[in-house]
A and B are shown apart, each in its own frame.
Chain A
């Protein structure tokens, strides 16, 4: 077997090892199990979703080709668009707040602070816990009668709302749990990013008479661009797919005010057995995540990334 693969892809070629290496079949053997996994459990499912979205299939009957019927139905499906709206509201309620808080915490920790490691570890604790267990815990915290929040409010004479059964408060409450869970986790990335900014740059800006605010907007933030890009992309991809906390905290209620798109997909497929249409909704979700990610690639790509190495 020849192994004269001449690769033109920059960044993927090894340091020029010119001599042929024997035993090329070993490599295929090494890659085979993972390759099978990727093809069978990631690529094939993507193809199935696309194909299935063109079929009418309720699992018990035979699938029937339906052309674009499901997409026409989607266009006029008020509930689907409602759940998309809920998802976007959830994203807007959670991501900006948790990103700003994470950056603020990181900037606090990036000063000469005693016990940095201690705080850093504590802030990551929420991220580690099982989302389903967290949902249960927060259900208890939001309990209208004996929960911690309303009990604390009662101390100052305020009657708290019914949080999770109140159409106004249910979605913000669920979004707050996400903020609680991921702020510390995101903080780790910002802290690592901040520590990579040479101190001389701040000193130079200070000598030039830049105010702390100017230093933040003109030095810190632009240099954090790669970190911001990473945090923003991963957070948004995760938030658009939120499921566990919704399932265990509100099950989409009250009156569908927390019914995010992924929960709607689950209901359509595994409660209503409308697999064809559920696949159409999945395709929509994929498209949205893809577009949002691409938009971020463009947005962050336009900004100059400074190479400090």
Chain B
């Protein structure tokens, strides 16, 4: 019995530590500058104020939020479409050089993203795409080797004779993919979509390098510069953090079962 209590105590501590920083964000975002220094960080400021949130929402922040949403949407759609096509071909079509090409894809999974940043920047500079949407999106919109690997594994689990009936009816590969295969792919596509949304929304180093103007500035870059801009006004910074976290929290609340399954399935950071 004592063991059980200890077990639940340990789990409760773990859960508390996991959510405590989020709690702190909410508490701090609704405090005035004066309450910030007078109340303990873990206590609410009374009365709570919405001034910080209003100030952040009246700044350029919503615009950067919109930029991030556009980037995330375009990257997710692009990755889903191109990944599906490539993965389907690798899994279920036969063509000369297929295995060689596939191993090429798998090998590139080993390339650390940190190493490709400088040459990617130079390529975009050569193409005159610095500080443009094209430059921001191009390296990631065509899909990642990891996503293709994941989807290929999924396509291989579908029954072998699936295409035959459609083929006898005279359907070409495109029709088979869109009409027969795609409806069966919903769970795998959902997994890929969640992963892409999270990684796009959180991406920082590439946007930091490739964009400089406000037209393409995303929320992570805006948050990073917030610190230099407003010094130690933590109530404002936490208001900004809260706004940036809302979409991720919303995704979590709606898809948590799916997310846990996705993580275990794919193990993608």
Which residues from chain B contact A243 at a C-beta distance below 8 Å? 114, 204-205
A55-91 contact mask (Cβ, 8 Å, vs B): 1 or 0 = 0000000000000000000000000000000000000
Majority secondary structure of chain A interface residues (helix, strand, loop or mixed): helix
Asked if A119 is at the interface (CB within 8 A of a chain B CB), the reply is: yes
- Most interface-central of B111, B112, B121, B201 (chain A CB within 10 A): B112
- A163 near B: Cβ within 8 Å? no
CB distance from B22 to the nearest CB of A (A): 7
CA distance A222 to B238 in the complex (A): 44
Question: Could you say which residues of chain B place their CB within 8 Å of the CB of A128?
Answer: 198, 248, 251-252, 259
Q: How large is the interface on A (under 10, 10 to 19, 20 to 34, 35 or more residues)?
A: 35 or more
Looking at the complex, which one of B14, B36, B116 makes contact with A41 (CB distance below 8 Å)? B116
Nearest Cβ distance between residue B96 and chain A, in whole angstroms? 5
B241/A133 in contact, CB under 8 A: yes
A130 surroundings in chain B (CB, below 8 A): 201-202, 204, 219-220, 223, 244-245, 248
* B234 CB-CB contact with A under 8 Å: yes
Cβ of B118 and Cβ of A136 under 8 Å apart?
Answer: no
Q: Mark A97-133, 1 if CB is under 8 A from B, else 0.
A: 0000000010011010100010111111111111111
Asked if B82 contacts A184 (CB within 8 A), the reply is no
Whole-angstrom CA separation of A122 from B11 in the bound complex: 10
Residue B229 lies at the interface, judged by CB distance under 8 Å to chain A: no
B47 at the interface (CB under 8 A from A): no
User: Separation in Å of the A158 CB from the closest CB of chain B?
Assistant: 15
Q: How many residues does chain B have at the interface if contact means C-beta atoms less than 8 Å apart?
A: 101
CB-CB under 8 A for A230 and B118, given A17-B94, A30-B85, A137-B24:
no
Docked CA distance A279–B267 (Å) = 29
CB distance from B267 to the nearest CB of A (A): 6
Query: Assuming A45-B115, A133-B220, what are 9 further A-B pairs, CB within 8 angstroms?
Result: A5-B96, A27-B173, A34-B148, A41-B140, A126-B18, A136-B227, A148-B41, A238-B269, A269-B121
Report which A residues bind B (CB closer than 8 A). 1-3, 5, 7, 9, 12, 14-15, 17, 21, 23-24, 26-28, 30-31, 33-38, 40-46, 48-49, 52, 105, 108-109, 111, 113, 117, 119-134, 136-141, 143, 145-148, 151, 180, 184-185, 188-189, 192, 230, 234, 237-238, 240-241, 243-244, 247-248, 262, 265-266, 269-270, 275, 278-279, 282-283, 285-286, 289-290, 293
